[in-house]
Amino acid sequence: MSRNAKIAAGGVAAGIILMIWLPWWAALLIILGVPTAAYLTLDESQRRRLRRVSRKELGR
């Protein structure tokens, strides 16, 4: 299993555990809020670069 597949599987498992352990709205807030907060912490030039690259290039 590749490194990215392991990360994705871990994310799915964490999401399922959160959905069981927390109310659905709190789990959804965490699952959607963390990537959004990470994106907002990027500098404008980093956001531009991120929008330019394709998904295949992100893992490099």
pLDDT in tens, 8-20: 888 888 888 888 8
Amino acid at 54: S
Supply the pLDDT for residue 24: 80
Handedness of CA 1, 52, 43, 37 (dihedral sign): negative
Tokens read off for 52: 């330019």
Instruction: Tell me the pTM.
Output: 0.52
